Structure 1
Amino acid sequence: MKIKPYTQPIVPNNNGRQFQQFPNIYSDPPYEEEGSKLDLRQILGVLRRRFLVVATVAIGVASVVGTRTWNSQPQYIGSFRVLVEPITAETKVAQTFGAIVYSILDYDTQTEVLRSPSVMTPIIEKIKAKYPEITYESLIGNLIITRLGQTKIIEVRYQDVDSKKINDVLQQVADGYLSYSRTERQSDVRQGIDFVQEQLPNLRLRVDTLQARLQKFRQQYNFIDPETKAQELSGRMNGISQEQSNTKTRLDEMRSLYGTLQGQLGLQPNEAILASALSEASRYQKLLSEFQDVETKLAVESVRFTPENPTILALKEQREKLLPLINKEAQRVLGNNLSPATINRERLTYQNSIRLSLTQQFVDTTNQIKVLEVRNKALDQASALLIREFQQMPIRAREYTDLKRELEVSTDSLLRFLSSRESLEIEAAQKATPWKLINTPDAAVVISPSKYRNIMLGVIAGLILGAGAAWLAEMLDSVFHSVDDLKEKSGMPILGIVPFHKSVKKLFPVTETARILAGENQKNAPADSNLRRYNASPFVEAFRSLYTNVRLLSSDLPIRSLVISSSTPAEGKTLVALNLAQAAAAMGQRVLLVDADLRRPQVHERFGLTNMRGLSNLISAEDLDINDVIQQSPLEENLFVMTSGQVPPDPTRLLSSEKMQNIMAQLQTAFNLIIYDTPPLLGFADANILGTTTDGVVLVVGLGKTDRYSLMQTIEGLKMSGTPVLGMVANGVKKNTVHWHDSYNRYYTQTAEKGLGARG
């Protein structure tokens, strides 16, 4: 068989069984609506428990507020309103430089000015003539100046205990404000106009100076705009670059043609010029022809005659005479710069039409090369100048931009000052119209105290403070008051809820308790005979439900033994043990209730049994039989009781003995359920010793009695010791903290009504 304790690990006991965790019956989280209802129930429960605190605080606060309200002196208030701007829908006054200027009054600043000593001092001096006790502080403390909504109206209110005084003060304040509007309101505008007039000459001079500098700059560098000039320079540089490219191409062509012609003619450029010039001189050509004829004859005759032949000599002499004439003619044609010795007659002698044409072309090519070289050099110089000028453009552009920016800033400042001057003049013209009092100071009316309202607020405040005091007292209270609070703080399942019953005292015997409950049930039962057969009550049903829950904790075999204990004394553990045993016996189980509280036994007193021999005697004596210490209950035939016996000097030693283990094992075979009533857990080891040998411990918590810290310390101790815990029993639950009382009563009431109806 496997028993499922709540949070403990598997712990073997002497009965040969093992314990394992049973499923958490609260595994599903509650709905949010249920959580909010639970919080509301907790709050209502706190208010019920602390009703006296809430009532005391509420009555006290309401009494104090009511007393002060009835005894306080009434306060009066009066007011007047002033129109401070024109009523036109839009006060559009000018259109300057494309911008519409509107008259805008700063109402927050205006109200502060109206409250200032400079404005209020003359008014207070007039008021003191009738009310000398009034000072600036006392007047301002009760004077309220506000703007009326989003209108152009300022409302002035004054409160005091004297209604006549209010009217007199408001009249003086109204007159003072109207006087202020006529005389003082234009001073700031006039000061602004004077300031603008002082600044305008300097601004104009600065603008003129910057304009002159900009004009001189443009004239110096010969441009209007640096960007345009840069574009122009870039275009010129591109044009020169293109022209340089074309010139170089043409120069290369001419040089190529020059080389070709020079190769064909075999002449130098100066020789070509000479050849060209001499080819056009007729006398030179005639002499040259004669010289050629002489040369021809000399060559012919040299074949026929010897060099000493007179003919040969005559021809040579003729040739020698022609040479000076040719040189002289060439000197005449070519000028004094050319020596005849430089003339190569062999290359210049024969000039036909083709050679003359080539010579002329050679001369032209030479001249064009010279021209192109000069042009190329000029283009290089122009390009260098443009490049230097272009490189200087960023500096010029920066200087121009700075100068222009200064001019624009100065111009804008001048325009703003001119516009401000016009606006201020228009504003001054508008403010020439004084404020208008749209209503005279009203008759003072009572504003406080509002007796009924204050009393109602006092009651509400008292209730709120009372609820806060109740909540504070609840927070300072360290005991559990509700089942929900117990379950939330401990984190353990609640096996049973035992209702509080004022007729069942913890010191009553079981027989007396049963008699009281039976008499009450007979008194409250319906007249129907069928219903009188069953003496039902929430108290009895609570223990039957408790036993059912304990029994269902086991998945295989029912629980055979358990320990009933509590964290501290006087929590009702013995009462729970007695009634649980009685409920289990009534449900057909053979039950043994063992009073294992060897320190302060109570079971025999509750049942009215003798305690001559009991558990302590059974453990100590060697010849005492178990049957000699077991007594039958006078209430149930299936219920048997083993009292504690004589109080031993060392109870813990007896309960932890091996004989006690053997006794528990022997009892396990004779009864269906064994319940051990033990001392409290906190401070005593008795319950822990027995709990490890049984199926587990049932922890009884007395609501309204158990300290939170003590219970949590007890739970931690059980976890550390490895004692299996089956769950908790909430004892002494009031009707207003749970709802199953209502369900129980409603169920039986409906049953009774149905029975009576059928019988009728």
Structure 2
Amino acid sequence: MTVLDFIRLTRANLRYLLAGLLIGALLGLGYSLLQPRVYASTSTGYVTVAGSAGIGDVISGNSAAKDKATGYLALTNSRAVAERIASENPDLGMSAGEIAGNLTASMDNQSALIRVQATANDPVKAQTLANSALESVAYVANELEGGNTVRVVPLEDALPNNSPISPNTWRNVLLGALVGFVAVYALVFARRAIDTKVRTREDAIKSTELGVLGMLPKSEDLASTKILHEAGDHVSQESIRQLRTNLRFVNVDRPPKSVLITSSEPGEGKSTVASTLAQALAEAGQPTIIIDADLRRPTVAKKFRIDSKIGLTEVIAGQVELSEAVRQFENSQLFILPAGRIPPNPSELLGSDKMRSLIRELSEEFMVIIDAPPVLPVTDATLLSKAVDGTVLVATIGGTQREHLREATENLHQVKANLIGLVLNQTPRGGFGGGYYGFGYASTRGYKSYYGYTSDKPTEGKGLKKLKRASKK
């Protein structure tokens, strides 16, 4: 994965990452609120032994007190010291074991100074523990030495500290936020690694080794039975026109006159692509005929709201003339040959010589767009692909399996079909943040601002207004 891929992945999942950050921070805060408060207090003293010259010797380290202090550090956590503290301070309500576990001692390497830190669930208790610890250490040390040769002199008494040292709320919140953020990243990478669907343009290209002719955005108009000029979605209209333009430049010297539109599996939008592409070609002034060759689940007649009782099946069977089955759409350059009656043997009809002759005959006068069944469930599309100038595969972003798309491509290559490109359907509108990373078609806002649309109704763009003002001058 490149740096750009990583940035796109982050943008595509930014809201999930922020959610993980927030949830982790809240969990860290909740953990802190549930933990008991721990307060600390520190007292300092110095050790003197018989024969010390004074405090100067103790601090400078030129005295035997330094050696004694080093040996007495371990006494701070001893049971003897803890039991004495407990007996001298019954109000603490702590056992000897609890007291020993809440005391820590340290010593300055250059002197005989001892620092005792005591912790407790109350700041006053922590203060009492710290101050009592120095006295108890001296008492136990004298007992071990067999006399009053050792004395611990308080230098700085412990003071109550009302700020708890534990839990560290800010640290827990930050740590929780970091863990939540990393956990979401791990899930995103894991999902990407195990996902088998087409999520990006690169996924589709790698699976087929084909170029992308067009990208159709997610649109209720395209998903419905609306025809192209009825759709109020200007982004969808422009995406179809771009597909029309790219199709014309597939082969400049010999542009395709008959194009088969198919997909790897049902439900990927091939009929929508075929219908809208045929309309776009007709709108550009090119005589176009769309043939509904999906004799198993025909949808073209429903899309254009025409009667489908007579159609391709009857023409191939010789029951009616071609002119009787073809319908002109609203006095336009678009003609429709519906599927007709669903036959018991669709593959035989579509693979027949009559079907090939029909496509060849229509190609002399029309641009022929054929809506064919998907490749993997049935063989109809592979049979038809040999009778047309080019075949276009349709894949749905987030719906088509990469393996299925790869297998469909291989099936068409096996029959030497002329695969001219891909159409990617249902592409995200969020720009390069769509899908897992970096796929989106184009932002609606961008198209509307460029073409002068502020809603479903067209308005004058800035460029047009300037042109009108200039003409008045």
Normalising TM by the smaller chain, what interval? 0.7 to 0.9
Q: Secondary structure at the match of 2:461?
A: helix
Deviation of 1:172 (Å): 3.4
Larger radius of gyration between Structure 1 and Structure 2: 1
Structure-to-structure mapping, 1:646-685, within 5 angstroms: 646-671=341-366, 673-685=367-379
| Residues 509 and 606 in structure 1, CA contact (< 8 A), matched pair in contact too | yes
Distance change in 2, residues 1:67/1:149 (3 Å): farther
Indicate yes or no: 2:275 matched with 1:572: no
Q: 1:441 aligns with which of 153, 158, 162?
A: 158
Kindly tell me: are residues 588 and 78 of structure 1, through their superposed partners in 2, closer, same or farther at Cα, counting changes over 3 Å?
Answer: same
8 Å CA contact retained: 1:182, 1:435: no
One-letter code aligned to 2:390: G
Change (3 A) 1:549 1:83: farther
Partner of 1:701: 395
- Deviation readout 1:715-741 (Å, 9 max, x if unpaired): 344445543322211112222133643
Cα distance between partner residues in 2 of 1:150 and 1:640: 101
- The answer for the alignment partner of 1:552 in structure 2 is 249
Distance change in 2, residues 1:575/1:157 (3 Å): same
The change in CA–CA distance for 1:634 and 1:161 in structure 2 (over 3 A counts) is same
CA distance in 2, matches of 1:442, 1:644: 93
Cα 1:708–1:153 change in 2 (3 A) is farther
Q: Given residue 315 of structure 2, which amino acid in structure 1 is its aligned partner?
A: L
Amino acid at match of 2:297: R
Distance 1:446 1:690, change over 3 A: same
Label 1:747 to 1:132 Cα distance change in 2 as closer, same or farther (>3 A).
closer
Cα shift readout 1:366-398 (whole Å, capped 9, x = no counterpart): xxxxxxxxxxxxxxxxxxxxxxxxxxxxxxxxx
Q: Any stretches of 5+ residues in structure 1 without a counterpart?
A: 1-31, 92-103, 186-431, 521-536
The question of whether the paired residues in 2 share the 8 Å contact of 1:615 and 1:644 is answered with yes
| Number of matched pairs | 435
Question: Shift of the alpha carbon at 1:139?
Answer: 4.0
Pairs within 5 Å for 1:386-401: none
The whole-number CA distance in structure 1 between the counterparts of 2:270 and 2:348 is: 22
Write the distance in 2 (CA, Å) between the matches of 1:688 and 1:150: 90
Provide Cα deviations, 1:260-291, integer angstroms capped at 9, x if missing partner: xxxxxxxxxxxxxxxxxxxxxxxxxxxxxxxx
Give CA-to-partner distance per residue, 1:612-638, whole Å, 9 cap, x none.
2222222222x643333332222632x
Listed one character per residue, the Cα deviations across residues 443-476 of structure 1 (whole Å, up to 9, x for unaligned) are 2342234556655665665555455556656666
Match of 1:748 among 451, 457, 465: 451
Higher strand share: 2
Q: AA paired with 1:754?
A: G
- Equivalent residue for 1:75? 38
CA contact (8 A) 2:301 2:308 kept: yes
Q: Secondary structure at the match of 1:446?
A: coil
Structure 2 residue 212 is the aligned partner of structure 1 residue 494 = yes
Q: Which residue in the other structure is 2:79 paired with?
A: 121
Deviations 1:41-90 (A, max 9, x none): 23222345x58xx64x666555554445445443211123467997659x
- Which amino acid counterpart does residue 38 of structure 2 have in structure 1? Q
Contact 2:138 2:152 in 1 (8 A): yes
Structure 1 627/68 Cα, relative in aligned 2: closer, same or farther at 3 Å?
Answer: same
Distance 1:507 1:134, change over 3 A: same
Aligned to 1:164, which of 124, 135, 157? 124
- Look up the match of 1:39: 6
C-alpha contact (below 8 Å) 1:509/1:608 kept by paired residues: no
Partner of 1:711: 405
**Letter of the structure 2 residue corresponding to residue 163 of structure 1:** P
1:541 aligns with 2:243: no
Inter-partner Cα distance in structure 1 for 2:75 and 2:315: 100
Shift of 1:603: 0.7
Partner of 2:330: 634
Q: Please state whether the residue corresponding to 1:166 is helix, strand or coil.
A: helix
**Hey, what's the Cα distance between the residues in 2 that align with 1:153 and 1:183?**
21
2:40 is paired with a residue of what secondary structure?
strand
For 2:169 and 2:325, locate their aligned partners in 1 and report how far apart those are by CA, in whole Å.
78
Contact 1:46 1:474 in 2 (8 A): no
Q: Residue 721 and residue 147 in structure 1: after superposition, are their counterparts in 2 closer, same or farther (change >3 A)?
A: farther
* Contact 2:231 2:237 (C-alpha < 8 Å) held by counterparts: no
Distance 1:152 1:620, change over 3 A: farther
Separation in structure 2 between the aligned mates of residue 655 and residue 478 of structure 1, nearest angstrom: 32
The root-mean-square deviation of aligned C-alpha atoms, in Å, is: 4.1
**Between structures 1 and 2, the one with greater helix share:** 1
**AA at the equivalent of 1:657:** S
* Contact 2:312-2:338 within 8 A present in 1 as well: yes
Secondary structure of 1:443's partner? coil
Following the alignment from structure 2 to structure 1, what is the Cα–Cα distance between the partners of residues 464 and 237? 23
Distance change >3 Å, CA 666–CA 684, structure 1 → 2: same
> Aligned equivalents of 1:437 and 1:633: distance in 2?
104
Check 1:624–1:132 CA distance in 2 against 1; reply closer, same or farther (3 A cut): closer
Is 2:196–2:403's contact at 8 Å kept on the other side of the alignment?
A: yes
Distance 1:687 1:667, change over 3 A: same
Q: Which moved more, 1:123-132 or 1:463-472?
A: 463-472
Q: Following the alignment from structure 1 to structure 2, what is the Cα–Cα distance between the partners of residues 726 and 69?
A: 61
Q: Deviations over 1:635-661 (max 9, x none)?
A: 632x22221121111211222223222
Report the 3-state secondary structure (helix = DSSP H, G, I; strand = E; otherwise coil) of the residue aligned with 1:128: helix
Q: Is the 8 A contact 1:143 1:158 kept in 2?
A: yes
State the SS of the aligned residue for 2:253: coil
Is residue 174 of structure 1 aligned with residue 141 of structure 2? no
Q: Which residue identity lines up with residue 44 of structure 1 in the other structure?
A: R
SS of the equivalent of 1:564 reads strand
Question: TM (normalized to structure 2)?
Answer: 0.76
Letter in 2 for 1:158: A
Query: Distance between the aligned counterparts of 2:223 and 2:291, measured in 1?
Result: 18
Cα distance, 1:558 vs structure 2: 0.8
Letter in 1 for 2:9: Q
Corresponding residue SS for 2:306: coil
Tell me by how many angstroms 1:599 deviates. Answer: 0.4
Note the C-alpha offset of 1:126: 0.5
Q: Map 1:5-24 onto structure 2 (within 5 A).
A: none
* Alignment-mate amino acid for residue 629 of structure 1: A
1:353 matched residue in structure 2: none
The question of whether the paired residues in 2 share the 8 Å contact of 1:58 and 1:465 is answered with: no
Note if 1:688 corresponds to 2:382: yes
CA distance in 2, matches of 1:717, 1:180: 91
Q: How far did 1:560 drift?
A: 2.0
Residue in structure 1 matched with residue 50 of structure 2 by the alignment: none
Supply the distance in 2 between the matched residues of 1:641 and 1:446 (Cα, whole angstroms).
82
The question of whether the paired residues in 1 share the 8 Å contact of 2:40 and 2:117 is answered with yes
Question: How do residues 189-228 of structure 1 correspond to structure 2 at under 5 angstroms?
Answer: none
Q: 2:10 is aligned with what amino acid?
A: I
Equivalent residues in 2 for 1:469-480 (5 A)? 469=187, 478-480=196-198
- Tell me, in whole angstroms, the C-alpha distance in 2 between the residues paired with 1:728 and 1:135: 79
TM-score by length of 1: 0.50
